[in-house]
Amino acid sequence: MATNRTFTMIKPDAVKAGNIGNILKMINEAGFKIVALKYTQLSKEKAGGFYAVHKERPFYGELVDFMSSGPIVAAVLEKDNAVADFRKLIGATNPAEAEPGTIRALYATNVGENAVHGSDSDENADIESNYHFSQTEIYA
């Protein structure tokens, strides 16, 4: 399993607001290499499967509706300490609590529509990357 990779999505709110370019620039400037990239819209089924771990949470239905409401950008990113460094770059789940200068502080709408996803462990980075990309779509 790759320990230097993480998985991200630029969520529908940030895509709609025209922030794909701004966010990819921040990702590059923070030293991440983009090794896979896809512009796509998730079906409810695909979004629901991605967030299956949150199935019992009260916001699950809203989350699935939001994540399938418009196009997203999915990417696999490579860097030493990718998972932890990327979580630092995106900031807290709730943008009101995100450090100034983080992607969510700059571009998120609210706790539910928070601009970007970032994997929370090496194991999930691997699972999530494989959920969205085949091996031939990842350019190491």
- Among 117, 119, 125, 126, the one annotated catalytic: 117
CB of 130 to Mg ion, least distance (A): 17
CA proximity to 107, closest of 88, 90, 119: 90
CB 136 within 8 A of CB 12: no
Q: Which is nearer to Mg ion, 120 or 137 (CB)?
A: 120
Q: Does the annotation count 132 as an active-site position?
A: no
Q: Which residues lie near ligand DAT (CB under 6 A)? A: 54, 59, 63, 93, 111-112, 114, 117, 120
Give min distance, CB of 54 to Mg ion, in A. Answer: 8
Taking CB positions, which residue lies at the least distance from Mg ion?
120
Binding-site partner at residue 5 among Mg ion, ligand DAT, none, CB < 5 to 8 Å by type: none
Residue 139 contact partner, candidates Mg ion, ligand DAT, none, CB within 5 to 8 A by sort of partner: none
Rg for the chain, CA atoms, rounded = 14
Q: Which residues are catalytic?
A: 117
